[in-house]
Structure 1
């Protein structure tokens, strides 16, 4: 007969924090191994409805159905990359025009600085030459790290589809393993947790794709109105990079400003592009994210920002991308375990009613 141990509140909080710190430490140490596994898990959950359709309803063998799902997903990604590469190939044909407009834009900046800050063009060029020399030295020192990053990216692109394939094949095996970890009377709770995790991750990824499409269309439309030549390519790149929190939109803005120089180097065009990106981001952050993303994962903004920052510090861009779905999984687990329910409520996006303390009066004996 098992006997439950009741711990005081401070001991429970200490155990929970120590456990989270241990998981975080393990993730930081083994991020190169754990990150591809988690990415493959998300993709496997996304592809699970297609796998179920092929395997259960169409009676296609598991291995073939899993292979077809991975190939369809890879074909979708490759199709987007081929379209982008085709557009980039056309963009390179205008490189001479870009170089000419960059020079004209730099001349305008030199004149502006000279007129407003009274710094001669010769002094400005001398300062830029010194900065360029220092940056060349630093870039030569970081070539090795860039090569290592590219090799890691190629390895991840190879191994993530394999992991996804294996997750789909051994789906029932993993579920049975989890069922063996808990008592039979808790199987219904485990089933509910797993189904909620599947729904939450599916909704989150589909919402991200929907948000990417809307941002791409809005950015492309705005750039078309402004008069940028490659508005389709730049809108698609902005939508894809917007999936990376914080830094993605900044990178997209730099690419857009650079690509705008294929037409003209006038500062008015650059200002118009900046306004287009600003308006799209305001729409995205104030309308799309609350309605599409936050309504699906139901995590408040405070926890989301902290999670993204911690994920970025632990595993870079991949960690930032994985932060929200991992927080959603933790929230679902916490809400369905009685001792952890307050932590799930803390992560949630609920708007509480006015809370009043209900104190019971104690009568004193005279």
Structure 2
């Protein structure tokens, strides 16, 4: 029987760093291929209970059960998009009102700058004209890249649906592949890891949906109180964009401010919108995220923020969305492998008592 090789700490650390660098290089190089696969994997795990119901309970063939699951999933998404597009079309009828109130709001800003910073309105308009001309030139240059980006999004959406379908029908095939990679005595650990990954991802995505609904309701209620016309639509958009860390709520605030111009361009209304967004974000960050999100994935805030930043730098918005579930999967794997358990503990949100170092007793010779 061969004895396991024991390496010093610095050698283990070097292997870990090299492995992380290799994974990061592979992901950054092939992010356009890997990101749709990971998104499809998350959606497939979310749809597994529905797939099992149709396949095992109702005895539908595997392919038919997967198709039904995708139809339900896509119908839900398309329904939300149709509602939003209908409301946006209805709001477009108020374009002239928006334009009028926007001009009034801009005039108020010009007056505020003139009174407080002693910059004449003429100088302000000259500066805005120069910026506008540069923006038009830049926009014309980027129009082609924007069209290419839209086509890429449509292609990625179609390929994600295909990948999700394949993940569902080849679920057992992938499990058997993983079982063949490891020794038979470790199969129980593998099954425990897979079951925990399924539970963790399901809990995380369901928690995101609950958070989206709560944020949408709170935002809609706040906008209704201050008298915003399209409060339901804007609340729903805020809830959806809130799923994008950091930048989502900023985009939602800008959209809400623009939509508020359908009523009036008063500064007090815009100030009320900002107050509503701040209050909702305070509730979200201090109540919803700790109680709903962090309690499900069990990852501390430091690792979460670092993961979101790294994911955004590597793969944009998709990387930011994938960061938390991927970290949760890594933590599940680390917790169940003895040599990697310290890294799983580092990622966790446990708050230990004060740690005291134990001194080693040194034996003295008489």
Q: Same fold (TM over 0.5)?
A: yes
2:92 corresponds to: 92
Using the TM superposition, give the Cα deviation of residue 120 of structure 1 relative to its aligned residue in structure 2, in angstroms: 1.1
Once structures 1 and 2 are overlaid, which stretch shifts more, 183-192 or 14-23? 14-23
2:126 corresponds to: 126
Matches within 5 A, 1:134-283: 134-283=134-283
Residue 318 (structure 2) pairs with residue 292 (structure 1): no
- Superposed CA deviations along residues 99-140 of structure 1, whole A, max 9, x for unmatched, are 000000011111111111121111110111011111112112
- Aligned residues: CA RMSD: 0.8
Matches within 5 A, 1:98-117: 98-117=98-117
Residue 353 (structure 2) pairs with residue 353 (structure 1): yes
Q: What is the CA–CA distance in structure 1 between the aligned matches of 2:71 and 2:336, rounded to whole Å? A: 36
Q: What is the CA–CA distance in structure 1 between the aligned matches of 2:363 and 2:172, rounded to whole Å? A: 60
1:333 corresponds to: 333
- Specify the SS of the correspondent of 2:113: helix
Structure 1: runs of 5 or more not aligned: none
Using the TM superposition, give the Cα deviation of residue 2 of structure 1 relative to its aligned residue in structure 2, in angstroms: 4.4
Using the TM superposition, give the Cα deviation of residue 333 of structure 1 relative to its aligned residue in structure 2, in angstroms: 0.5
After TM superposition, the score normalised by the length of structure 2 is 0.99
4+ residue segments displaced more than 4 Å: none
Once structures 1 and 2 are overlaid, which stretch shifts more, 132-141 or 243-252? 132-141
**What is the count of residue pairs matched by the alignment?**
366
- Superposed CA deviations along residues 276-309 of structure 1, whole A, max 9, x for unmatched, are 0000000000100000000000000000001000
Using the TM superposition, give the Cα deviation of residue 142 of structure 1 relative to its aligned residue in structure 2, in angstroms: 1.4
1:65 corresponds to: 65
After TM superposition, the score normalised by the length of structure 1 is 0.99
2:308 corresponds to: 308
1:27 corresponds to: 27
